[in-house]
Structure 1
Amino acid sequence: MITIPPYLQKGDTIGLLAPAGFMPFEKIHTCIDVLGDWGYSVALGETVHSHSDTYFSSTDEERCADLQRMLDDDHIKAILCVRGGYGVSRIIDKLSFKNFKKSPKWIIGYSDITVLHAHLYRKHKIASLHAPMAAAFNDEGFMSPYVASLRSALTGETSSFRCEPLQLNRTGEAEGNLVGGNLTLLAHLVGTASDLPTKNKILFIEDVGEYLYNIDRMLLQLKRSGKLKKLAGLVVGGFTDVKDTERPFGATAYEIIQDAVKEYDFPVCYNFPVSHTNENYALKNGLPHKLVVDEAGVRLSEIVEK
């Protein structure tokens, strides 16, 4: 059984913090204002006011303490990570989820926040939101259907998303708990306490800025560790800003993925709107979903258990 944190009500408090990379405070203003317009109060963690001169928003100890305070604060009903980057892996084993398990709340974010999503599912069977972060609200992004999907998810609306068919897709239907996130982090977590279980799951993956050979290497890591063999289905999101070596690798990111799963028979869709771009729907990580891939397109729908 998966624990679903309570959905939010008007007046509830959302905590904002930066558990990994640094983000200038001026890039968070719009997110704060829009959350207020949605009817929520906002509590700011110390890491969003950071004046760090390093890659991280602050030291490991300060980032860990900031997140721990919000995990334990019963007045905070959701935690929105303002950005990812890198850094959650450095603090995940220092966090205590003892109080959080008694009073769970929605953890929101993507990219490096994949570590939190995987850890919550693997260790505690608690659902979370792989969803837009603070930068997605900027430049009128708060009016996009992708940020709107975050608002809908927080209030408990049942999600259902569609995308156009691609020739690469492998048709079929699947049901299972939806899990996943950033490919780099999923490969990085193999063999750790946060290692994501994938058997009979619908796995979603995305990435940004990786070399093609590294995408191939990470998929081989997942394959050799058994993460792809017994999937119910695979949802491939955006692989953006990919790089190649001087001597070309010889395949696109999607062709690399297609080759990695060619021996299996589960449905696979490509170019699903989950990515490091603004096209990034809010997905309820850990909850049951149905995936339909056919000639008409792709449908990924949350299953509400009665």
Structure 2
Amino acid sequence: MTNSLTLFSPSGVVLKAAPVRRAAKRLQKLGFEVSLDESALARFQRFAGDDDARLAALHRVAEAAPSVALATRGGYGLTRLLDRIDWPLLARSIERGTRWVGYSDVTALQLGLLAHTKAESWAGPLAIDDFGKETDDQLDEITPEVFREAMSGELEAVGFRTEAGFDGLEAKGVLWGGNLTVLSALLGTPHWPKVRGGILFLEDVNEHPYRVERLLLQLQQAGVLQAQKAILLGHFSDWKKSPLDRGYGLKQMVEAVRAVCVTPILTGLPFGHVPTKLCLPVGRKVQLVVDRRDVFVGWEHSHPHEHEHHPECGCEHAHGH
């Protein structure tokens, strides 16, 4: 299996080429053969090219089926394309071994894939955010290595610490989720994955806790949260406190949602708009185990040509305990 990696821009405009070039060099050092999609640096308004150009880029990358398709950045733009994406074409690229990777706005692509084809993708880093820093000492110590392990097929489990109170919890189900705002915007559309008995992970940025609470309560009232076996909350970063809060913050927000939701809600997942982020297989059957405050999420080894449609891909063991 080659280590071909294509950088593409499905969403927001790339303002400067330098971070993309730096990301390409660092990804080469990790062992990838990096290529830049022909329209990765295109510009139209706030987008990386107009809708036709970005749609063509998605389909071009899918046709080429590199080992890894890594988005340069998030922003906004994929929602415009969802009704026109050739989902079977993307699914075939995954059957041929492509891992589509990103987070933030890329959530729309990942959940659309899951909804239309049940194909797997990877919630993980973005090229500019995580590999495009000016100096090496600005890079996160964990994120690049976890990415390399995930893309090589070595990564079989992730772990993190959560609050007390969930010791002994065990659950199996399809792992899915991503950016809360993007995910919620898909509710009621054909691009919404109807996952029951799953493990849902969520993160967001620049959203005050009351806005996060409102989105979570929307999912609760729509029957989504209680249909899951567990909910994993990542980082909700870069929000600004208000004089109106009067003691209300993220902790109080989580308590309010827990009060009306029977599904266990675990905090502490290292994922979101923060330097340290895990890679998570969206659409993969996983097993979640909580030992005191340690959470393990494990899945079975997947070969490049294995596909979510095969029942034998289900996870029976959480590796790496």
1:271 alignment partner AA: G
Query: In the alignment, which of 4, 14, 22 is matched to residue 30 of structure 1?
Result: 22
Q: Deviations over 1:92-127 (max 9, x none)?
A: 211112333333221100000000110111110111
1:31-46 map, 5 Å: 31-46=23-38
Does 2:127 match 1:131?
no
Confirm or deny: 8 A CA contact 2:226 2:262 kept in the other structure.
Answer: no
- For 1:70, the equivalent position in structure 2 comes to 61
- For the residues of structure 2 that align with 1:196 and 1:252, how far apart are their CA atoms? 30
Quick one: which of 102, 113, 118 aligns to 2:92?
102
After superposition, the C-alpha distances for 1:202-231 in whole angstroms (9 at most, x for unaligned) are: 000011101222112111211111110121
**How far apart, in 1, do the equivalents of 2:36 and 2:17 lie?**
11
The farther-off stretch of 135-144 and 40-49 is 135-144
The alpha-carbon deviation at position 289 of structure 1 amounts to 1.5
Q: Distance in 1 between matches of 2:9 and 2:117?
A: 22
Q: Which sections of structure 1, spanning at least 5 residues, go unmatched?
A: 1-8
Q: Which residue of 2 aligns with 1:58?
A: 49
CA distance in structure 1 between the partners assigned to 2:90 and 2:269 by the alignment: 32
Question: Does residue 3 of structure 2 align to residue 12 of structure 1?
Answer: yes
RMSD over aligned Cα, in angstroms? 2.1
Whether the 8 Å CA contact 1:235–1:272 is kept in 2: the answer is yes
SS of 1:48's partner is: coil
Greater Cα shift, 294-303 or 212-221: 294-303
Which of residues 117, 120, 132 is equivalent to 2:110?
A: 117
- Residue in 1 aligned with 2:258? 261
C-alpha distance in 2, partners of 1:79/1:296? 35
AA aligned to 1:63 is R
Q: Aligned partner of 1:149: which letter? A: V
User: Hey, what does 1:3 align to over in structure 2?
Assistant: none
Q: Residue 225 of structure 2 contacts residue 263 of structure 2 at CA under 8 Å; is this kept in 1?
A: no
Residue in 1 that maps onto 2:307:
none
What is the TM-score when the length of structure 2 is the normalising length? 0.84
1:242 aligns with 2:239: yes
Equivalent residue, structure 1, for 2:305: none
Picking from 152, 157, 160, the partner of 1:155 is 152
Which whole-Å CA distance do the structure 1 matches of 2:246 and 2:209 have between them? 7
Q: Hey, what does 1:5 align to over in structure 2? A: none
TM-score of the pair, normalised by structure 1: 0.88
1:173 Cα deviation from its structure 2 partner: 1.6
How far did 1:263 drift? 4.1
**Which residue does the alignment assign to 2:39?**
47
Query: Could you tell me how far apart the structure 2 residues matched to 1:250 and 1:118 are?
Result: 35
Does the 8 Å CA contact 1:14/1:80 hold for their aligned counterparts?
Answer: yes
Q: Which letter maps to 1:67?
A: L
Contact 1:34 1:142 in 2 (8 A): no
Pairing 1:111-260 to 2, within 5 Å after superposition: 111-134=104-127, 135-137=129-131, 138=133, 139-140=135-136, 144-167=141-164, 170-171=166-167, 172-248=169-245, 250-260=247-257
TM superposition shift of 1:298: 1.8
Note closer, same or farther for the CA distance 1:237–1:248 as it changes in structure 2 (3 Å cut): same
The Cα of 1:256 is off from its aligned counterpart by 1.6
Q: Aligned residue for 2:318?
A: none
State the 1:185 CA deviation. Answer: 0.9
